[in-house]
Amino acid sequence: MELVQLNPQQFERFSDFIYGKSGIRIPENKLTLLSNRIRKRLKAGDWPDFDAYYDHLTSLRGARELDYFFDAVTTNETSFFRTPTHFDWFGGPFLEDLVTATRLGKRPRSLRTWSAGCASGAEAYTMAICLRENAYRLRDWELSILGTDISEAALEMARDGVFGDRAMENVSEKRRKRFFRPVEADRWKVRTEVAAPVTFERQNLLRAAPSPPYDCIFIRNVLIYFDEASKRRAVKHLVDALAPGGFLVVGPSEGIYAMLDPLKRHSAFLYEKVAS
Ligand SMILES: C[S@@+](CC[C@H](N)C(=O)[O-])C[C@H]1O[C@@H](n2cnc3c(N)ncnc32)[C@H](O)[C@@H]1O
């Protein structure tokens, strides 16, 4: 049978399912897009039609397919040094202040950061590059960078740490040589010593954060497709996960500025959980 498009009932079932699992609301004008993406999964597997696929996905046996499904229906676009001003702050004033506070004995020699909705990991590895560039003053520090995503397929790529030219666009020649090694034509692998503090874990932002607290959390280009109620849920988990004095770095299209009252605003992208 030729599969054309989801019919309105099927669209509603799939979009409700996606919403319930991830907080992402797929608007009706994305019917063709959603149909195309699900059709690719049908072709990759052994499902005769949309209904059979839906039944499998929502059954106990569907857990593994769920990973591929989310990978197909979400946008995993990411790149190194995306919105460079955020990393200018992270590798500059942020680390500067931490180092000073540590020297004054006001905080331990440790730093825990979280890239929430990390896709294939470029954001987490960019943080790691910033830390390497400051290695001379972070000697003997305990450093950890966690990247989380709902898509296991994206996390597999993240753990692999190999990136193409598109993700590397903002990486200077000098940084490429220092922090990556070429693996094949136009593909670059993050060096082992850069990747050392980085781990990746599956996590749904509608649930509480894994192993808080964090000194800095990046939430960028993730909540854009969430509806208001889901945004609020995710924001609560993020705020709860911040250490006192920790910072939240917010992407330009998150649409959560009005929800960040518990934090002190430093700029459009930077919010602090003031220590009480
Ligand atoms: C466009 S990427 C952003 C990657 C990175 N933060 C950046 O700005 O380059 C959005 C990621 O959010 C993930 N995502 C969507 N809904 C999620 C949820 N409920 N929990 C965790 N991750 C989610 C998607 O799987 C996708 O990999």
Q: Give the number of the atom of ligand 1 that is nearest the alpha carbon of residue 230.
A: 19
Closest CA relative to residue 269, chosen from 85, 104, 123, 101 = 85
Rounded Cα distance between 235 and 181, Å, is: 37
Cis, peptide link before residue 213, omega less than 30° from 0: yes
Q: Are residues 63 and 21 in the same domain?
A: yes
Q: Are residues 140 and 109 in the same domain?
A: yes
Neighbours of 12 (CB within 10 A): 12
**Which residue among 42, 73, 104 closes a domain?**
73
Copy the structure tokens of residue 56: 């499998």
Q: Are residues 65 and 136 in the same domain?
A: no
**Which residue among 73, 93, 122 closes a domain?**
73
Q: Are residues 93 and 63 in the same domain?
A: no
| Residue 78, domain member (yes or no) | no
Please tell me the distance between residue 258's alpha carbon and the centre of ligand 1 in angstroms.
21
**Which residue among 73, 93, 127 closes a domain?**
73
Check: CB of residue 23 under 8 Å from CB of residue 224.
Answer: no
Q: Are residues 132 and 228 in the same domain?
A: yes
Rounded Cα distance between 270 and 263, Å, is: 9
Q: How far is CA 258 from CA 30, 175, 219, 221, 254, in A?
A: 27, 37, 15, 17, 11
Copy the structure tokens of residue 240: 């709860």
| Residue 1, domain member (yes or no) | no
| Residue 68, domain member (yes or no) | yes
Q: What is the per-residue pLDDT for 143?
A: 98
Q: Are residues 182 and 250 in the same domain?
A: yes
- Note the pTM of the prediction, 2 decimals: 0.92
**Closest Cα to atom 13 of ligand 1:** 117
Q: Are residues 128 and 17 in the same domain?
A: no
**SS3 of 25, please?**
coil
- Is the C-beta atom of 77 inside 6 A of ligand 1? yes
Q: Are residues 131 and 30 in the same domain?
A: no
Domain at 37, CATH number: 1.10.155.10
Give the position of tokens 């607290």. 213
Q: Are residues 14 and 146 in the same domain?
A: no
Candidate of 69, 77, 83, 150 to mutate for ligand 1, largest count of ligand atoms within 8 Å of Cβ: 150
Q: Are residues 64 and 145 in the same domain?
A: no
Candidate of 149, 171, 220, 254 to mutate for ligand 1, largest count of ligand atoms within 8 Å of Cβ: 149
- Low-confidence stretches of the chain (pLDDT < 70) are 1-3
- Is the C-beta atom of 138 inside 6 A of ligand 1? no
Copy the structure tokens of residue 74: 């979400």
Q: State how many domains the chain has.
A: 2
Q: Are residues 152 and 214 in the same domain?
A: yes
Q: What is the per-residue pLDDT for 207?
A: 96
Q: Give the number of the atom of ligand 1 that is nearest the alpha carbon of residue 218.
A: 6
| Residue 26, domain member (yes or no) | yes
Check: CB of residue 42 under 8 Å from CB of residue 53.
Answer: yes
Copy the structure tokens of residue 274: 């003031």
| Residue 253, domain member (yes or no) | yes
Domain at 137, CATH number: 3.40.50.150
Q: Are residues 244 and 157 in the same domain?
A: yes
Q: What is the per-residue pLDDT for 1?
A: 52
Rounded Cα distance between 180 and 218, Å, is: 23
Q: What is the per-residue pLDDT for 179?
A: 98
Q: Give the total residue count for the chain.
A: 276
**Containing structural domain, residue 56:** 8-73
| Residue 79, domain member (yes or no) | no
Q: 81 — alpha (psi -120 to 50), left (phi > 0) or beta? A: left
